[in-house]
Copies of this chain bind each other. A is one copy, B any other.
Amino acid sequence: MESLMIYMPIALALLGLIYMIIKKSWVMKQDAGDGKMKEISDHIYEGALAFLNAEYRLLAVFVVIVAILLAIVSVVVPTTHWLIVIAFIFGAIFSAFAGNIGMKIATKTNVRTTQAARTSLPNALKISFGGGTVMGLGVAGLAVLGLTAFFIFFFHFFMGGAWTNTMDMTIVLETLAGFSLGAESIALFARVGGGIYTKAADVGADLVGKVEAGIPEDDPRNPATIADNVGDNVGDVAGMGADLFGSYVATVLAAMVLGNYVIKDMGGAIDDLFGGIGPILLPMAIAGAGIIISIIGTMLVKIKNNDAKEAQVMGALNVGNWTSIILVAASCFGLCMYMLPDTMKMEFFGEGLQEISSMRVFYATLVGLFVGAVISSVTEYYTGLGKSPILKIVQQSSTGAGTNIIAGLATGMISTFPSVLLFAGAIWASYAFAGFYGVALAASAMMATTAMQLAIDAFGPISDNAGGIAEMSEQEPIVRERTDILDSVGNTTAATGKGFAIASAALTSLALFAAYVTFTGIDGINIFKAPVLAMLFVGGMVPVVFSALAMNAVGKAAMEMVQEVRRQFRDIPGIMEGTGKPEYDKCVAISTKASLKEMMLPGLLTIGFPLIIAFVPMLFGMNHLAIAEMLGGYMAGVTVSGVLWAIFQNNAGGAWDNAKKSFEAGVEINGEMTYKGSDAHKAAVTGDTVGDPFKDTSGPSMNILIKLTCLIGLVIAPILGGHATETGLADSDFETVEQNITITNDIAEATITYTTLENGVEVTKEETFSGTEAEIEAKLKAFEASTTKVQGDAKKVIKKMEVIKE
C-alpha cells in the first residue's frame, strides 16, 4: 500500500518554491537606484549571464557525452537501467536551473541593496538577505522536488508503487543515483570553474589596478572590476549553491539506500504506516521539513536599529540559524518516532545483527546537527578577526612575507586537528547509535538547514557587490559604511559556510561510501590486501594533485587577465582620466573562457581515475569483487585526503585574509600600532595572495572532488557488484541454504550440489573442487559470486547448496 507520506516532501518543496517566487518578486519590486547604479548592475548581471551561458554550452556538451556513455553502459550491463540517463540529465538541469536562479537574483539584489543602504541599514539587510533567501530556497526546493519526483516515478515504474522487495528498491535507488550524479557534475563546473573565474578576475584586477596603476579596489576605471564583481557571484553564489545542491541530493539518496538496507536486515519487508518504506522515506521527509523550517528561520533574520554594527547583524543571523537547527532537531525527533519502527535490526560488520531503537536513530541525527554547528565555531576560531591564530600570523608578518606564509600554512594545518577529531567522533558516534544508516541520517539532518545556510552564505557576496556598486557609482560614504558592515559579516559567514560545506561533503561522502559497499555486495574494504592499499595511496594523492592543478589554473588565467588590463590601459585613450570607457566585457570573456578551459584537466582527473580503476583491471579479467574493493580503497583515500586538504586550504586562506584585514583597523606588533601600507601589511598582502586560490578555488573544490568520486563509485557499483544480480527476485524466492561442513584434514575435497533456475526450469548440478582449506574457501566464494550473476533472462539462482568437505 502506498502512503500519502511519500508526497509530503514534494508538497513542502513546492511550498518552498512558491515562497521563493513571492520573495523574489518582492525583491525585484524594490528600487534599483539611479542610472549609474543601474548601469553598473547591468554590467555585472550581463557578465554573470555571459558566464552562465558559456558554462551551459560546455555543460550541454559534457552532459550529452556522459549521457551517451551511461546509455551504452545501461545497454551492455543488464543490471543498469536506461532510465538512469534521464535521471542524470534532469539532475544536471535542476542543478543548473538552481544556479541560474541564484545568480540572477544575486546580481539583481546587489544594486537594490546599495539603494536600500541609502535609506537605512535594516532595509539593506532585509533586501540582501531576501536575495540570499531566494537563492537558498531555490536550491533546496529544487533539490527536494527533483529527487522526490524521480523517486516516486521510479517507485511506480519499477515496483508499481508498492513494496515488493529490497532488490527492486535497489534498482529504484540505483537509477535515482543518476539524478545525484547529474547534480554533482554541474557542481564540478560551477565550483571549480567558478573558483578559477573569481580568483583570476580578482588577482588580475588587483595586480594591475591596485599594485601597478595605484587605483583603489572596485574603481570603475579598472577594466577587470566588473569581472571581479561577477566573480564574487560566480564563485560564492553559484559555486556554493551547486556544491550544497549536490550534497543535499547525495546525502538524502545515500540515506535512502541505507534505509533500504535496514529493511533488508529486518528480513526484507516491514509493516508500517508508510507502505513498508518508512526508513527510506524518512530522509526525504527530514529534507522536506527542513525547507519549511528554513523559511521560518529566514523570517527571524532582521534588525531594527539603524546604528547597528557587525555584532547585531551577526546576532540576527544567529537567531535565524539556531532557531532552524533547534526546529530541525525537533522535527527529526517527531519524524523518527513517527516514521520508523520502534526497533529495527541492523547489521554491524563483524558484530552481527543488532536491535536499534528509533530513538537511537534520532540521537544519530543530533550528532549531525552538532557537527554542523561546531564545525562553524572551529572555522571561526582559526579564521576569525581578533582570534589568537590570526594575531599570531599578524605578529609573524613583522619579519616578512616568509614568516607570514609559514604561520598561515601552519594555522591551516593545525586546524585539521579539531576538525578531524570532530568528524572522526561523529562517524564513530552516529555509527554506534544506528550503523551507517545513522551516519547518513546525521548528514541528512545537518543538510536539512541547507536553505538557511545558503541564505546566510549568499547574502555576503550580495553585500560585497553592493559595496562595489556604491564605490563605482560614487555614493555618499554612509552608504559604503553600511554595506561594509554587511560585507564584513558576510566574510565571517563565508568562512563558516565553507566549514559547513566541508562537513557536509565529508558526511555525504561517508554515507555514499557506505551505500557503495552495500551496492557492490562486498564484505568490506580490507586495506591489508596490497591492491586495495595501493589504491588507498593513489586516492590520497588525487586531492593534492587536483589542488595543484586548480592553483596553477588560477595563475594562468590571472596572467591572461593581467595582460588584457595592461593592454586596455595602454590602448584606450583617457581611461585613467575617466573619459575613456574600459571594455569590461573583454575581461569578463577572458575570465569565462580561461576558467572553463582550465577546469578541464582537474575535472578529467576526478572522473578519469575511478573509471580507470574500475574498467582497466576488468579488461584484464580481474575478479569484479576484487575491483570493487580496490575502488573502495581509492574512494576512502580521496575522502580522507580530500577532507584534510579542504580544511587545510580553506582555513589557511581564511586566516591569511583576515590577518591582512586586521591591518585596516590597525594592529599592535611589538608594542607599536601598525597600519595599512606598513611592511608588515605588505607581507600580509603576499600571504593573502597565496591564500586566495587556497580558500576560493582549490579548497572548496575538494568538496566536489570527494563527493563526485564517491558518486561515480556508486554508479559503477552495480556493474562491479554481485548484488544487483538478484534483480527482481524476492527474498522468498530463495530456499534456505543448507550447508554441511566437516573438516578433518588440510587437503580437502569439496562437492557442491545446487539447484538453479535456467530459463524458468529447475536444474540440479554438481561441482567438485579440491585443495587446501583456504583454496576451497576461495573457490566457494568465487562460485557463490558466479551463481548470483544475471545472464539475460536466464537467471541462475542458488536454490539449494550443499557443501561437503572431507
A: residues with CB less than 8 A from B are 207, 347, 349-353, 396, 399-403, 405-407, 409-411, 413-414, 416-417, 420-421, 423-425, 427-428, 431-432, 435-436, 439, 510, 514, 517, 523-531, 533-538, 540-541, 544-545, 547-549, 551-552, 554-555, 562, 626, 632-633, 636-637, 640-641, 643-644, 648, 685-690, 693, 736-745, 771-772, 774-775, 777-778, 781
Contact = CB atoms under 8 A, between A and B. Distances in A.
Given A400-B686, A411-B548, A431-B531, 12 more contacts: A352-B778, A400-B689, A401-B686, A406-B555, A420-B538, A431-B530, A524-B526, A526-B526, A527-B633, A540-B540, A738-B744, A741-B741
Nearest to A428: B534
A742 B744 contact: no
Contact of A535 (B424, B643, B688, B778): B424
Interface SS majority for chain A: helix
Contact of A413 (B523, B524, B544, B689): B544
Given A405-B686, A555-B403, A774-B353, A531 B428 contact: yes
A445 to B, nearest CB: 17
Given A406-B555, A545-B417, A540 B640 contact: yes
Contacts of A524: 526-529
A710 to B, nearest CB: 13
Nearest to A538: B424
A351 B622 CA distance: 12
Contact of A544 (B399, B517, B644): B644
Contacts of A421: 538, 541
13 contacts: A207-B399, A350-B526, A401-B686, A402-B685, A403-B689, A406-B689, A410-B551, A414-B548, A416-B545, A420-B540, A544-B644, A736-B745, A739-B743
Contacts of A535: 424
A435 B547 CA distance: 34
Contacts of A742: 738-740
A406 B551 contact: yes
B409 A548 contact: yes
A549 to B, nearest CB: 8
A702 to B, nearest CB: 13
Determine which residue in A530, A555, A771 has the highest number of CB atoms from chain B within 10 A of its CB, and name it.
A530
Contacts of A626: 350
Nearest to A562: B399
A14 B792 CA distance: 70
Contact of A636 (B207, B536, B544, B643): B536
A328 to B, nearest CB: 23
A277 B662 CA distance: 67
Nearest to A534: B424
A548 B413 contact: yes
Nearest to A690: B405
A553 B411 CA distance: 13
Contacts of A533: 427, 510, 636
B686 A534 contact: no
A349 B636 contact: no
Nearest to A630: B428
A533 B426 CA distance: 11
A432 B620 CA distance: 15
Nearest to A633: B527
A352 B773 CA distance: 8
Contacts of A407: 552, 555
Given A352-B774, A538-B424, A640-B640, A439 B530 contact: yes
Contacts of A547: 413
Contact of A427 (B401, B537, B636): B537
A630 to B, nearest CB: 10
A740 B805 CA distance: 11
A752 to B, nearest CB: 15
A438 to B, nearest CB: 9
Contacts of A771: 352
A655 B685 CA distance: 23
Contacts of A739: 741-743
A414 B545 CA distance: 5
Contacts of A775: 352-353
Contact of A641 (B409, B523, B641): B641
- Residue among A401, A552, A689, A740 with the most chain B CB within 10 A? A401
Contacts of A534: 423-425, 427-428
A529 B350 contact: yes
B528 A528 contact: no
A144 B693 CA distance: 49
Contacts of A545: 413-414, 416-417
A451 to B, nearest CB: 29
Contacts of A774: 347, 352-353
A271 to B, nearest CB: 18
A202 B444 CA distance: 52
A195 to B, nearest CB: 14
Nearest to A779: B352
Contacts of A525: 526-528
- Identify the interface centre among A413, A525, A633: most chain B CB within 10 Å of its CB: A413
